[in-house]
Structure 1
Amino acid sequence: MLTKFKPIALAVLSFALAAPAMAEEVNLYSYRQPDLLKPLTDAFEAETGIEVNVAYLSKGMVERLTAEGKRSPADLVLTVDISRLAAVVDAGLTQPVHSDILVANVPAAYHDPEGQWWGLTTRARVVYTSKDRVKPGEVTTYEDLANPKWKGRICTRSGTHAYNVALTAAVIHHLGEDGAKAWLEGLKANLARKPQGNDRAQVKAIWAGECDIAIGNTYYMGEMLEDPEQKEWAESVNIVFPVFEGSGAHVNISGVAMTKSAPNKENALKLMEFLTTPEAQKIYAEANHEYPIAPGVEPGDLVKSWGDFTADNVNLMDVAKLRPAAVRITEEVDFDG
């Protein structure tokens, strides 16, 4: 059995490979933090009596599932970012899932047409701007980030991180490869420092006066406001929802997929469906400061306070297919150099 609610190193859990599957359990591999998932798994267990065993991974999900093969105890994978979901699918480690409940609860733009993965929550890739040094309305589009007026004023994490790869893939979708490469070159020329750290580190850099603009996910604002040390960073910036010219803001997802070798397939489907119900959507979105994916479910009050935005209308599968090109041109411009 998987160890429940504790992070597990890649070398641990080998004993689970030989363990027989229990009738009333479901095994989940996840990149999400334990405290973000526990309210959901507790609610599912209370409603169904099915025990949820979670292995928390910091990296290497594809490698682990590949090594385990048919012996893998994992029924589901839950991760953030379309790039990471697509990587598991591309490796042939998932199976299609078809469910009327999932179709009703997950808009078409946020699930694989073949049912290989299903979105659970959304977040926007936004711009954080200094309240003191950037005027409202100065940044309105992603294209604006390449404007020379911002030279030496932008901070971001690595261009090859999954979050930025997905954004660059979306840029390719809208501007083509040549346009996206020019955009990356312009963005690189505007950086205040070499790409480094996570999204919150970029907001800290604005607070410290190292830059005036940063790229990040919306939910990090919620996490920073809840951290006494980081609250001051969060309060030093505004959230701006940039758009692609003629479209909307780049949106990414957290999502779930059933593994190809799922030993508890029926229970796994029950958990997938539960995660898209209004009850679970409200728990999940509020715990993660994200936007519910199910129609009619409102985000939490804090998330609402950040304002409304129009999401880019591109299907995320189209974005996922452009990941290799996004990585290639990011490396061609030596973005992290």
Structure 2
Amino acid sequence: MRRVLPRRISTLAVAALLVPLAAACGTDSADDSGAGSAATKPKKAAGPLVVYSGRSEELVAPLLTQLEKATGTQVEVRYGDSAELAAQLLEEGDRTKADLFFSQDAGALGALGKAGRLAPLSKESLDRVDQRFRAEDGSWVGVSGRVRVIAYNSDKVAKAPDSVHDLTKAEWKGKVAYAPTNASFQAFVTGMRVLEGEDATRTWLKDFKANSPQVYEKNGAVLDAVDGGKAELGLINHYYWYEKAAEEGAEKLKAALNFPKKGDPGALVNVAGVGVLKGNDRSAAAQKAVDFLLSKEAQTYFADETHEYPLAAGVTSKDDLPALGSLDTPAIDLSKLESLEATLEMLREAGMV
């Protein structure tokens, strides 16, 4: 029976994602002279597969129950924020009890990969997913994807902008809704930093803030504001619209979606993904879990239940989603989204968080 581990999050939080911390916590320092030897390195007892999940219990608990049945391995889960869990894993280092990290976004996985905390995945697993949606060094792989989009009120907007750079124009002053404290918006800003540079991103944030956007806490509230006519445009992930359409009926929605064009940073595709922690005694079970999350059963769950893009070949969505290959998304190494602290500092400078 799968049980949920109590949540224990490091007070270092996002700051602990910075790479210098990895050097301090990568090994057990109780006996440096014997580090790595059987006599001194802590040995984990055989037991259940321990998963640190940055995806919410409400969203993925049914899937992890399926994982337990499919692999025949007992699973224990600790839920939390992806960035905070990554910080926890960096702090725990080799002493961690975690075997698998299931992250909401690529940035947290990139931080662990950069710190050398993730074991290489099998080539067979990696090859099931397009190289755009996995680590270049094979340390993690995406299992589901989401696209940044511009939602618009179809009664008020004849043609939505094709670029986030258009949102700083006077015609959209006070008419754009966004959620600056939401992780998906912050990942988008990080993507812009990687793609267009620090100065260009800082300028965009300044100009966007000066255009008086409407501030909301969550993407769902942004979409509701657009659908209700309080805002004409909104920055969200695609699946919020598809969730709302499934619940209320697409024909009843005033909100519609525009996918930004020409490699615009507003068209960022981020992924939820998994990595196997180094030094665990359940590497075979962890690899089986990775393979399950890339299986038709799990990929269909992502497509049908969370309205995300399945990333493994051979599975399609029941939603009327444009094919990922048809979208003019920016070319970016998703592991580089790990530089979240620099993004947060930039957002603080702009007065957004």
TM-score by length of 1: 0.82
Q: Which residue of 1 aligns with 2:51?
A: 28
Separation in structure 2 between the aligned mates of residue 153 and residue 93 of structure 1, nearest angstrom: 44
Give yes or no for contact 1:192–1:211 (8 Å, CA) kept in 2. Answer: no
Aligned pair in 2 of structure 1 residues 67, 206: CA closer, same or farther (>3 Å)?
Answer: same
Separation in structure 1 between the aligned mates of residue 211 and residue 74 of structure 2, nearest angstrom: 50
**1:219 and 2:236 equivalent?**
no
SS in 2 for 1:105: coil
Q: Which residue of 2 aligns with 1:329?
A: 346
Separation in structure 2 between the aligned mates of residue 203 and residue 125 of structure 1, nearest angstrom: 13
Give yes or no for contact 2:157–2:232 (8 Å, CA) kept in 1. Answer: yes
Give 1:166 deviation, angstroms: 1.9
Separation in structure 1 between the aligned mates of residue 350 and residue 201 of structure 2, nearest angstrom: 11
Residue correspondences, number: 320
**1:151 and 2:173 equivalent?**
yes
Unaligned stretches of 5+ residues in structure 2: 10-41
- CA RMSD, Structure 1 to Structure 2 (Å): 3.2
Of 196, 200, 218, 1:175 maps to 196
Give yes or no for contact 2:110–2:334 (8 Å, CA) kept in 1. Answer: no
SS in 2 for 1:255: strand
Separation in structure 2 between the aligned mates of residue 120 and residue 83 of structure 1, nearest angstrom: 14
Separation in structure 1 between the aligned mates of residue 325 and residue 160 of structure 2, nearest angstrom: 17
Separation in structure 2 between the aligned mates of residue 223 and residue 288 of structure 1, nearest angstrom: 8
Q: Which residue of 1 aligns with 2:273?
A: 255
Give 1:276 deviation, angstroms: 1.5
Q: Which residue of 2 aligns with 1:166?
A: 187
Q: Which residue of 1 aligns with 2:291?
A: 273
Q: Which residue of 2 aligns with 1:296?
A: 314
Q: What is the CA deviation profile of residues 116-155 of structure 1, one whole-angstrom value per residue up to 9, with x for unaligned ones?
A: 22111111011111121111x3311122122221111111
Separation in structure 2 between the aligned mates of residue 308 and residue 112 of structure 1, nearest angstrom: 22
Identical aligned residues as a percent: 27
Q: Which residue of 2 aligns with 1:79?
A: 103
Give yes or no for contact 1:281–1:294 (8 Å, CA) kept in 2. Answer: yes
For 1:163, give the aligned amino acid.
S
Give 1:163 deviation, angstroms: 1.5
**1:46 and 2:94 equivalent?**
no
Unaligned stretches of 5+ residues in structure 1: 12-16
For 2:337, give the aligned amino acid.
A
Give yes or no for contact 2:141–2:273 (8 Å, CA) kept in 1. Answer: yes
Q: Which residue of 2 aligns with 1:57?
A: 80
Q: What is the CA deviation profile of residues 201-231 of structure 1, one whole-angstrom value per residue up to 9, with x for unaligned ones?
A: 1112224443211111112223334556xx7
Separation in structure 2 between the aligned mates of residue 89 and residue 313 of structure 1, nearest angstrom: 20
Give 1:37 deviation, angstroms: 2.2
SS in 2 for 1:27: strand
For 1:28, give the aligned amino acid.
V
SS in 1 for 2:291: helix
For 2:54, give the aligned amino acid.
Y
Separation in structure 2 between the aligned mates of residue 33 and residue 113 of structure 1, nearest angstrom: 27
SS in 1 for 2:127: helix
